[in-house]
Amino acid sequence: MTHDQIREMVRRVNPIPDPSMLEIVDVPVLTTPLERRTEKQIDDKPGTEVQADRNRRRGPLVGIAAAAVILIAGLVFFLTRDDTPVAEPAPNATELTGGFQPLAPGAYYADTDGNEETTTRGTFVIEGDGWTDVPSGALKEGVGEDLVALLVVEVDEVWSSICEPTAPVAAGTTAADLANQIATNGLTVREGLAPVNAFGHNGYHLVGEVPAGCGGESKPAWTGPVFDSNRWYDSPEMVEYWFLDVEGTAVMIEASWLPGSSPEEDLTELQAMLDTLVITP
């Protein structure tokens, strides 16, 4: 089959082949909330005066805290490292595409950067029904307030706070850098940053809860290189992280659930995914 033939087949399924048929009756409405939101999201980039000022005010304290945390964590990590044999990834895993499609029980893998030229991936097994293929992982939205998710990602940008609108900055290039950025972004820390050997790699572990008033549309947390891979939190939401050094690549594993409202069976399925998760370089 030639590329031209494929192109024509794709053209045939264009849901709107002729845009001129669309009837547009409204002119753009320049409402205040939308204007504010757009201005924030489009204009509020690193390097702006506002952001530079925020960074200047925060910089020294955050930097000292970060250095202390990493130094201590590194020391503890060296002393406590675990050389447990690494599990093999589940065979015949299907690649997650982030297409928001339902996932049948089975083995899946997430390409951590969406780049076919690199091979780092996280493979895990989904045991139950109701999971959805989302960018960088899988998510289950149940009845009512239920929401559980597992993401295996690299991170491009982070926001310095999830509790006030800020602009994104480049994520650190090491697991320690990334761990520190997330650990100081306003999450209520439930289990402090600690060194681990997990999923076959060395790194750091953290559990945090999204405080009331934090998260939401104007206060995102991070974006990744996978197309549309990004994250806004909601309160209340519990997030467990592993920041791993996978042969020089910082990979973040993020398991999240709603404390008190995610059903036990969903949490069990999430735990089973973590139990089978293997990160391969």
Residues in touch with another protein (CB under 8 A): 1, 3, 5-20, 22, 24, 26-30, 34-35, 38-39, 41-42, 97-102, 111, 114, 116, 132, 134-135, 139, 141, 145, 147, 149, 217, 220, 223, 226-228, 230-234
CB of 94 to another protein, least distance (A): 10
Residue closest to 241 by CA, chosen among 147, 135, 145, 155: 155
| Cβ pair 139, 147 in contact under 8 A | yes
- When the beta carbons of 142 and 192 are compared against another protein, the nearer one is 142
CB of 259 to another protein, least distance (A): 14
Tokens of 221: 């947390």
Identify the bridge partners of residue 140 per DSSP, sorted by sequence position: 131, 148
Tokens of 48: 């702006």
- When the beta carbons of 174 and 261 are compared against another protein, the nearer one is 261
CB of 21 to another protein, least distance (A): 8
Identify the bridge partners of residue 207 per DSSP, sorted by sequence position: 191, 240
- When the beta carbons of 182 and 196 are compared against another protein, the nearer one is 182
* Distances in whole angstroms, Cα of residue 96 to Cα of each of 106, 110, 177, 246, 277: 12, 5, 27, 20, 14
DSSP 156-178: SEEES-SSS---EEEPPSSHHHH
CB of 51 to another protein, least distance (A): 18
- When the beta carbons of 42 and 79 are compared against another protein, the nearer one is 42
- When the beta carbons of 138 and 179 are compared against another protein, the nearer one is 138
